[in-house]
Amino acid sequence: MAATLDGQLVVAISSRALFDFEEENQVFETGFAQDPGPDLPPGVKKDAAYMKLQLERLDVPAKPGVAFSLVKKLLAFNDAPESTLEAASPAVPRQRVEVVILSRNDPVSGMRVFRSAQHYGLNIQRGTFNRGAPPWRYLKPLHANLFLSTHLSDVRAALEAGVPAAQVYPQSARASDAHPNEVRIAFDGDAVLFSDEAEMVFQAQGLSAFQAHERDKAAQPLLAGPFKPLLEALQRLQQAGTSRMCIRTALVTARSAPAHERAIRTLMNWNIEVDEAMFLGGLAKGEFLREFEPDFFFDDQTGHVHSAAQHVPSGHVVSGVSNLLT
């Protein structure tokens, strides 16, 4: 019988989002900036120096990247027995999370990616290495719940295909190690968990019109945003239960009262719970996120992502009206 990922939380991630390949990437970018000459068409085999460097470093584990903590903690759900069965069968864990590498790297460099994962005890067995070709097209057969990449066009294409996706900011601060048994994830609201309906009102008519619009529609649930399916999948993972790992979620939004009520009621209508909600009324999110200490934060506005990235791992959700011209 063929293998299946049915019932698992599937996270697809690029090698540069998982590991710190910034030094190697500089070599790659330099190669592609050079004139290939008359005998070599543009974009072809200019990655030779990059491949050579990765091969030379094959036995040198790459340093953890921005999304490393998120991946490591999610994979820990596979090591922890289900709490309801722990006493009866403590040695039989259930596979709950699958992490798959989807990379523009070449297959040679892919060897280093897998060796680095093995070095850190990350049980990652599947991956595609496409040597510059867009990997997002493999998200559909994976039925991925999340795609993390540093490549903007891949993230945009994934979102258009209906997969929750974010562009990882490689220079983001790394996650705190203060919560080893909690996966902490923070989400913006409008255009991330929710549709950009209300954001469009704010962009077109200003804050007063936005507040009035949300007050009048407080009892009407917002439509789903691109990350609602991920939040649902995380809640299912949490409810499956383990005595050793748990998930803590936070809504971190520029909304304030009275616009807060519609956001809360929308989550209630979806039967989704979050552990914390921060209604910041336009305050910079970075320092609040520093105190929450998430393993990752998702926001659709680059200003908020830049603020957050100074303190926590962060990614740009390229969706909604704020990103129409990006």
Based on DSSP, count helices (H) and strands (E) in the chain, helices before strands: 13, 12
List % helix, strand, coil for the chain (3-state, nearest 5).
40, 20, 45
Q: Which residues contact 163 (CB under 8 A, 6 or more apart)?
A: 136, 139, 144, 145, 146, 147
Residues 120 and 68: their CA atoms lie apart, in Å, by 10
Cβ atoms of residues 174 and 313 within 8 Å: yes
Read off φ and ψ for residue 185, nearest 5 degrees: -130, 135
CA distance 109 to 56: 10
Which of 106, 154, 188, 190 is the catalytic position?
Answer: 188
The residues facing 40 across adjacent strands are none
The packing angle between helices 197-205 and 207-216, to 10°, is: 140
Q: Rounded distance, CA 1 to CA 325, Å?
A: 47
What does the block give as tokens for 92? Answer: 């039989």
Residue 306 identity: H
Answer yes or no: are the C-beta atoms of 267 and 187 closer than 8 Å.
no
Chain center to CA of 295: 10
| Amino acid type, 235 | Q
Whether residue 59 lies in the annotated active site? no
CA–CA dist 131, 152 (Å, integer)? 17
Active centre residues (catalytic): 188
